[in-house]
């Protein structure tokens, strides 16, 4: 007969197993990230691509959101539907569509050649330009929707008051509309920047082969090299990197709330 174990025996076994696991923990995988320049370059390149893509989304998305917010209800709903419509198709298919548009004998090059604008096909695919196009196209709705949600709530009488006080439309925009839309700008930038840093589908299909983004390296370490310890270290560092803008946004919100209470 098997000896009867007390009810608390599994707890002690779990504690012993946990102690053995903690004893094996070390920072060797993080040292690999510091010693190999590949990881530092991919982190910096990912942040650069995400930052530039976020700025491009803001420059394109703000005028669109502003125009939609000033439209009538029926026109506004139509434009919002057109913005959301691409999400009804697969993300992968939408990225693949850009391969057909940007390749050497693709639609863009053939059109430019037919119009006589260029003599030789342009190298558009597998470049940083293609990555920016893919990210902006894919994440532009995440910039437009928060901006629209903010802009449609603005009190237009404030612009009328600014005009009565002698402000030009441009000055009224920079002094009234733009400051009031800062929460929407910050929210839209976060919604674009955070997923863009870890993006790996777009750079894998449209980007250069000699410059990788951190999402591509992370995917390769997990699924190709099966180097899970280093891949986990990369994921932790990426998570900490993405927590920084979130914490800054929370701090910004607290300051705005405190300023509103005064």
Q: Is 32 contained in some domain?
A: no
121, part of any domain: yes
Residue 210: Cβ within 10 Å count: 6
183 in a domain, yes or no? yes
pTM reported for the whole predicted model: 0.83
Q: Does the structure show a pLDDT above 80 at 27? A: no
Q: What is the pLDDT of residues 98-124, one digit of tens each?
A: 999 999 998 999 999 999 898 899 999
Higher pLDDT, 21 or 19: 19
Confidence of residue 7 (pLDDT cuts 50, 70, 90): low
- Is residue 201 assigned to a domain? yes
Residues 111-163 have pLDDT tens digits of 999 998 988 999 999 999 999 999 999 999 999 999 999 999 988 888 889 88
Domain assignment present for residue 14? The answer is no
Confidence of residue 166 (pLDDT cuts 50, 70, 90): confident
What is the tally of structural domains in the chain? 1
* pLDDT bucket at 57, cuts 50 / 70 / 90: very high
CATH of the domain at 139: 1.10.3720.10
Give the separation between CA 42 and CA 25, rounded to whole angstroms: 26
- What three-state secondary structure class fits 178? helix
Q: Does residue 30 fall inside a structural domain?
A: no
In a domain, 212, yes or no: yes
Written as six digits, the tokens of 170 are 């441009």
Residue 250: give the domain boundaries: 38-257
**What rounded mean pLDDT belongs to the chain?**
86
Query: Once rounded to an integer, what is the mean pLDDT over residues 77-85?
Result: 92
Q: Is residue 28 part of a domain?
A: no
To 10 degrees, what angle do helices 73-84 and 37-69 make?
160
């Amino acid at each position: 007969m098997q000896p009867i174990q007390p009810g608390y025996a599994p707890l002690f076994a779990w504690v012993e197993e946990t102690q053995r696991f903690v004893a094996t923990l070390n920072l060797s995988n993080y040292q690999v990230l510091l010693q190999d320049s590949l990881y530092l370059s991919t982190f910096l390149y990912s942040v650069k691509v995400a930052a530039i893509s976020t700025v491009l989304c803001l420059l394109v998305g703000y005028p669109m959101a502003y125009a939609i917010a000033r439209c009538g209800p029926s026109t506004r709903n139509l434009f919002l539907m057109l913005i959301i419509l691409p999400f009804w198709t697969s993300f992968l298919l939408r990225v693949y569509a850009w391969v057909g548009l940007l390749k050497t004998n693709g639609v863009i090059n053939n059109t430019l050649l037919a119009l006589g604008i260029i003599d030789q096909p342009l190298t558009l695919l597998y470049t940083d330009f293609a990555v920016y196009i893919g990210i902006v196209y894919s994440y532009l709705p995440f910039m437009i929707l928060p901006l629209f949600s903010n802009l449609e709530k603005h009190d237009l009488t404030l612009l009328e008051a600014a005009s009565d006080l002698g402000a030009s439309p441009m000055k009224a925009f920079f002094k009234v509309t733009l400051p009031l839309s800062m929460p929407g700008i910050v929210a839209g930038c976060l919604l674009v920047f955070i997923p863009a840093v870890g993006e790996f589908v777009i750079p894998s299909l449209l980007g250069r082969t000699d410059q990788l983004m951190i999402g591509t390296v992370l995917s390769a370490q997990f699924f190709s090299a099966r180097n899970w310890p280093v891949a986990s270290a990369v994921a932790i560092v990426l998570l900490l990197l993405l927590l920084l803008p979130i914490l800054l946004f929370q701090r910004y919100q607290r300051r705005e709330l405190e300023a509103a209470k005064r």
